[in-house]
C-alpha cells in the first residue's frame, strides 16, 4: 500500500475479516481446506483490507484450524491485503513465520476468570508469555496485534471496568504490541458503555489506532460501531455471515457480520471499499456447510 493510499484511507473505516479464524474456530463444523481457500480468496476479492486467515495453536485444542499452514500456502494473496494469524506462544509464531503471515495476533482478556478458562493463565502470566513472541515477530519484521477480550463484560464475572481494560492494554503496549484490538466478547454492550471504555483506553492510545471487535448478541453491535466511529474509531473486525456464533449464549449471534458493518458505513456515507455483492459471493461458498 502506498503513502497516498494510507492518506486517502485515513478517514475511512477499515475492516478486518475474522471469519476464517475467529468465526470457524467457534463453529463445530469442520470446513474442508479447499473450501477455506476459496472462501479466503473470495474475501480478498471483496476488497477487505485485512483477513485473519487462521491460527497456529495445538490441533488437538482447535481442530477446526489445524490446517492453517496449508490454507496459508494455498490462498492467492492480493497486494495491499494483510493476511494475519493468531499465535498463542513462540511455537505458534514459528508456524506463522513459516507460513509467511503478514501479521500475528496474541490474545488475553480483561477478566481474570476468562483468562483462566480460555488461556489457562493469569492476565499477568499471559502478558509475560507474549514477550518472546513479540520479540520474535518484530525480529522478523511483523507487527503484532493484541486482542483483549471481555472489554465490557465477562461470562464468569459480569461487568468489567474500563480501568481494568486499560490496565491490560497498558501492559500489552509496554511489551511492544503494535495495535490493540478490544473484544466485546459477550455482545451485550450499549453505545454508552462503549464510550466509557473508549474514553479510558483512549488515554493510552489514539482511538484511530484501536480496533473494535464487536459481537451482536443483543443486536446492538451496529449502534455501538456507529457511536465508536463518531468518537474516532476507524478499525473494526467483522465476520462474514456472522460466522462464529456465541459460545456463551447458545443460539445467539456472535461476531458482528462484516456485511452489516459494510452496510452501516455505506449508509453513513463512509464506504469501506468492500463490495457487499462480492462478500455475498464469499458467503455463498459456505452455504452447504452452515
* Binding region for Mg ion (CB under 5 A) out of 44-52, 111-119, 220-228, 254-262: 254-262
Three-state secondary structure readout of 114-164: HHHHHHCCCHHHHHHHHHHHHHHHHHCCCCEEEEEECCCEECCCEECCHHH
* Binding region for Mg ion (CB under 5 A) out of 41-49, 120-128, 154-162, 251-259: 251-259
The residue among 22 and 195 lying less far from Mg ion, judged by its C-beta, is 22
Among 14, 15, 19, 22, binds Mg ion (CB under 5 A): 22
Residues between 29 and 68 that touch Mg ion (CB under 5 A): none
Among 25, 44, 105, 255, binds Mg ion (CB under 5 A): 255
Work out how close the CB of 86 gets to Mg ion at its nearest, in angstroms, rounded to a whole number. Answer: 11
Whole-angstrom Cα distance, residue 234 to residue 288? 34
The residue among 107 and 136 lying less far from Mg ion, judged by its C-beta, is 107
Task: From 183, 205, 230, select the one nearest 26 (Cα to Cα).
Answer: 183
The residue among 140 and 156 lying less far from Mg ion, judged by its C-beta, is 156
The residue among 52 and 193 lying less far from Mg ion, judged by its C-beta, is 52
Identify the H or E element spanning 212: strand 211-214
Q: Which of 154, 169, 224, 246 is catalytic?
A: 246
Distance of CA 159 to the CA centre of its chain: 21
Distances (CA, A) of 157 to 49, 69, 111, 196, 234: 35, 36, 7, 19, 29
- Within 10 angstroms of residue 237's Cβ, the number of other Cβ atoms is 26
* Binding region for Mg ion (CB under 5 A) out of 82-90, 100-108, 186-194, 247-255: 247-255
Residue 28 contacts residue 260 (beta carbons within 8 Å)? no
Q: Is 211 a binder of Mg ion (CB under 5 A)?
A: no
- Look-up of cell digits 472489554: 151
Question: Residue count at the site for Mg ion (CB under 5 A)?
Answer: 2
Task: From 211, 228, 226, 268, select the one nearest 14 (Cα to Cα).
Answer: 211
H-only helix segments in the chain: 3-9, 24-25, 33-45, 68-74, 90-98, 112-119, 123-139, 162-174, 191-201, 221-231, 258-267, 276-284
Residues between 76 and 115 that touch Mg ion (CB under 5 A): none
Work out how close the CB of 186 gets to Mg ion at its nearest, in angstroms, rounded to a whole number. Answer: 10
Work out how close the CB of 185 gets to Mg ion at its nearest, in angstroms, rounded to a whole number. Answer: 7
Work out how close the CB of 191 gets to Mg ion at its nearest, in angstroms, rounded to a whole number. Answer: 19
* Binding region for Mg ion (CB under 5 A) out of 200-208, 223-231, 250-258, 259-267: 250-258
The residue among 86 and 97 lying less far from Mg ion, judged by its C-beta, is 86
Work out how close the CB of 21 gets to Mg ion at its nearest, in angstroms, rounded to a whole number. Answer: 9
Contacts of 197 (CB under 8 A, 6+ apart): 151, 152, 162, 165, 182, 189
Work out how close the CB of 237 gets to Mg ion at its nearest, in angstroms, rounded to a whole number. Answer: 7
Note if 240 is an active site residue.
Answer: no
List, by residue number, the catalytic residues.
246
Residues that bind Mg ion (CB under 5 A): 22, 255
Amino acid at each position: 500500500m502506498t503513502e497516498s493510499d494510507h492518506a486517502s484511507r485515513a478517514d475511512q473505516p477499515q475492516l478486518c475479516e475474522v471469519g476464517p479464524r475467529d468465526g470457524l474456530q467457534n463453529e463445530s463444523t469442520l470446513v474442508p481446506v479447499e473450501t477455506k481457500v476459496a472462501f479466503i480468496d473470495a474475501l480478498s476479492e471483496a476488497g477487505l483490507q485485512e483477513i485473519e486467515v487462521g491460527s497456529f495453536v495445538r490441533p488437538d485444542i482447535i481442530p477446526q484450524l489445524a490446517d492453517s499452514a496449508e490454507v496459508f500456502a494455498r490462498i492467492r494473496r492480493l497486494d495491499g491485503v494483510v493476511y494475519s494469524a493468531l499465535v498463542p506462544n513462540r511455537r505458534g509464531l514459528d508456524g506463522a513465520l513459516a507460513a509467511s503471515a503478514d501479521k500475528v495476533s496474541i490474545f488475553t482478556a480483561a477478566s481474570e476468570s476468562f483468562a483462566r478458562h480460555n488461556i489457562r493463565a493469569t492476565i499477568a502470566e499471559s502478558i509475560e508469555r507474549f514477550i518472546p513472541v513479540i520479540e520474535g515477530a518484530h525480529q522478523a519484521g511483523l507487527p503484532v496485534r493484541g486482542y483483549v477480550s471481555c472489554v465490557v463484560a465477562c461470562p464468569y464475572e459480569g461487568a468489567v471496568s474500563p480501568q481494568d481494560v486499560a490496565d491490560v492494554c497498558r501492559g500489552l503496549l509496554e511489551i511492544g504490541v503494535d495495535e490493540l484490538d478490544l473484544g466485546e466478547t459477550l455482545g451485550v454492550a450499549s453505545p454508552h458503555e462503549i464510550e466509557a471504555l473508549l474514553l479510558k483506553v483512549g488515554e493510552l492510545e489514539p482511538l484511530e489506532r484501536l480496533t473494535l471487535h464487536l459481537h451482536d448478541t443483543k443486536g446492538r453491535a451496529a449502534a455501538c460501531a456507529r457511536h465508536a466511529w463518531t468518537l474516532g474509531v476507524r478499525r473494526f473486525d467483522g465476520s462474514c455471515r456472522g460466522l462464529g456464533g456465541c459460545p456463551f449464549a447458545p443460539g445467539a449471534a456472535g461476531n458482528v457480520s462484516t456485511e452489516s458493518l459494510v452496510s452501516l458505513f455505506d449508509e453513513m456515507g463512509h464506504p469501506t471499499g468492500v463490495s457487499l455483492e462480492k462478500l455475498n459471493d464469499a458467503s455463498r461458498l459456505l452455504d452447504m456447510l452452515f
